[in-house]
Structure 1
Amino acid sequence: MAELKSDALMEQMKQHLATDAGKEVARKINLVYQMNIAPKKIGFEEVIYTIDLKKGEITKGAYEGGKPDATFSFKDEDFVKVALGKMNPQIAFMRGAMKIKGSLSAAQKFTPDIFPKPSKM
């Protein structure tokens, strides 16, 4: 399985959710997102992550507690761009770089703000 850039981002996110700032984000949003992240092409060899902002957890694999509030499909590099605020989610959606299933109002709450800011090297 290819190593995704998104894996490192999810790892940072996991640690972020354990902090007070991360817990605050989870409390505010209180939704469950499923991310289907493909190395090269949406829909192929996807790695699935569940970002559970009800419990403040990130797990690898499909959501098991029913239906996620919104499911996103991305290519790895596009997910990283959106998460880091380098690509606007609405533009990504309009260009087809991001596909959404589920609640659009839930999807709109998925913004780069929920990710930890990259630490300056």
Structure 2
Amino acid sequence: MATAAAFKEIEGRLAANPAIVSKIKAVFEWHITGGGVYTMDLKGKGSIKEGKFNGKPDCVVTVAEQDFVDMLKGKTTSQKLFMKGKLKVKGGMQHAMKLGELMKSQPSAKL
């Protein structure tokens, strides 16, 4: 359930900093190896749900569950994971680059 907790953490970050949504303006479909598929809709108010996006997402990101959690904890970055081939991006790379701001936002102690 690390993935579900991680996406709850992201929901908290979005609620604490709603300006991030207006900066990113994209729909992401996350394929978390060992953790399922989640949709992060960062258009409008911003929302996260388990499952595939009903339509074509702007960006599809594939990453292992532990790497995803480590990224949220600040132990690694999406750029490092991408360079090592541990994070794959299909679609708008410009959208994926904007995710860094969300991932760098203050993590909570619960992860």
Q: TM-score, normalised by structure 2?
A: 0.84
Q: How many residues align?
A: 108
Partner in structure 2 of residue 71 of structure 1? 60
Aligned equivalents of 2:13 and 2:107: distance in 1? 11
Opposite residue 93 of structure 2, the aligned amino acid is L
Using CA pairs below 8 Å that are at least 6 residues apart, which structure has the higher relative contact order? 2
Q: Percent identity?
A: 32
CA-atom RMSD in angstroms: 1.8
Q: TM-score, normalised by structure 1?
A: 0.78
Deviation at 1:120, TM superposition (A): 4.5
Determine if the alignment matches structure 1 residue 24 to structure 2 residue 12.
no
Partner in structure 2 of residue 37 of structure 1? 32
The structure with the larger Rg is 1
Partner in structure 1 of residue 3 of structure 2? 6
Partner in structure 2 of residue 99 of structure 1? 88
Partner in structure 1 of residue 71 of structure 2? 82
- SS of 2:99's partner is coil
Partner in structure 1 of residue 51 of structure 2? 61
Give 5+ residue unaligned stretches, structure 2: none
1:104-119 equivalences under 5 Å are 104-111=93-100, 113-115=101-103, 116-119=105-108
Partner in structure 2 of residue 43 of structure 1? none
Contact conserved, 1:84 with 1:117, CA < 8 A, in 2? no
Aligned equivalents of 1:11 and 1:38: distance in 2? 18
- SS of 1:34's partner is strand
Aligned equivalents of 1:74 and 1:49: distance in 2? 12
Opposite residue 13 of structure 2, the aligned amino acid is H
Give 5+ residue unaligned stretches, structure 1: 40-45
Identify, as 1 or 2, the structure richer in helix.
2
